[in-house]
Chains A and B, each alone.
Chain A
Amino acid sequence: MNILARAAEAIILDKGHYIIKKRIKKGYRIKNLDIKLRKERTNLEYKLITRARRIGVNVPSLMDKNTYEIRMEKIGGSAVKNILNKKNLEFIAKEIGRQLACLHKYDIVHGDLTTSNMIFFNNKVYFIDFGLGYFSQRIEDKATDLYLLKQAVMSKHAKFFNTFFNLIIKEYKKNYDDSENVLKRLETIEKRRRYTI
Chain B
Amino acid sequence: MIVLGIESTAHTFGIGIFDSEKNKILSNVKHMFKPPLGIGMLPREASEHHYKICDKILKEALNEARIKPQDIDLISFAQGPGLGACLRIGASVARFLSLELKKPLVGVNHCIAHLEVAKITTPAKDPIMLYVSGGNTQIIAFDEGKYRVFGETQDIPVGNLFDVFARNAGLPMPGGPVIEKLALKGRKYLSLPYAVKGMDVSFSGILTSATKMLQKEKLNDICFSLQETAFSMLVEVSERAMAHCNKKELVLAGGVAANKRLREMCKIMCKERGAKFFVPEFQYCCDNGAMIAVLGAIEYDAGVETKIKESKIKTKWRTNEVEVKWV
Interface residues of A (CB under 8 A from B): 6-9, 26-30, 32-33, 36-37, 111-114, 116, 132, 144, 148, 151-152, 154-156, 158, 189, 192-197
Docked Cα-Cα span, A113 to B239, in Å, equals 16
Q: Does B269 contact A (CB under 8 A)?
A: yes
- The B interface is mostly helix, strand or loop, or mixed, namely mixed
Which residues of the other chain, A, contact B81 by a CB distance below 8 angstroms? 194-195
Q: Does B282 contact A (CB under 8 A)?
A: no
Docked Cα-Cα span, A30 to B200, in Å, equals 21
Which residues of the other chain, A, contact B136 by a CB distance below 8 angstroms? 194
Contact assessment for A8 and B196 in the assembled complex, using a CB-CB cutoff below 8 Å: no
Q: Does B194 contact A (CB under 8 A)?
A: yes
Docked Cα-Cα span, A197 to B153, in Å, equals 17
Which residues of the other chain, B, contact A113 by a CB distance below 8 angstroms? 198
Total interface residues on B, CB under 8 Å, equals 46
Most buried by A among B157, B244, B317: B244
Q: Does B240 contact A (CB under 8 A)?
A: yes
For residue B55, give the distance in angstroms from its CB to the closest CB of chain A.
30
Q: Does B154 contact A (CB under 8 A)?
A: yes
Contact assessment for A114 and B194 in the assembled complex, using a CB-CB cutoff below 8 Å: no
Interface residues of B (CB under 8 A from A): 80-81, 136, 143-146, 148-150, 152-155, 157, 189, 191, 194, 196-200, 228-229, 232, 235-236, 239-240, 242-244, 264-266, 268-269, 271-273, 315-318, 320
Contact assessment for A194 and B194 in the assembled complex, using a CB-CB cutoff below 8 Å: no
Contact assessment for B154 and A8 in the assembled complex, using a CB-CB cutoff below 8 Å: no
Contact assessment for B316 and A28 in the assembled complex, using a CB-CB cutoff below 8 Å: no
- The A interface is mostly helix, strand or loop, or mixed, namely loop
Contact assessment for A148 and B200 in the assembled complex, using a CB-CB cutoff below 8 Å: yes
Contact assessment for A29 and B197 in the assembled complex, using a CB-CB cutoff below 8 Å: no
For residue A191, give the distance in angstroms from its CB to the closest CB of chain B.
11
Contact of A194 among B153, B197, B244 (CB under 8 A): B153
Docked Cα-Cα span, A81 to B102, in Å, equals 50
Docked Cα-Cα span, A111 to B198, in Å, equals 6
For residue A158, give the distance in angstroms from its CB to the closest CB of chain B.
5
Q: A28-B232, A144-B197 are in contact. Are A155 and B143 (CB under 8 A)?
A: yes
- A28-B268, A196-B316 known; 5 new pairs, CB 8 Å cut-off, are A9-B239, A26-B236, A151-B149, A194-B81, A194-B318
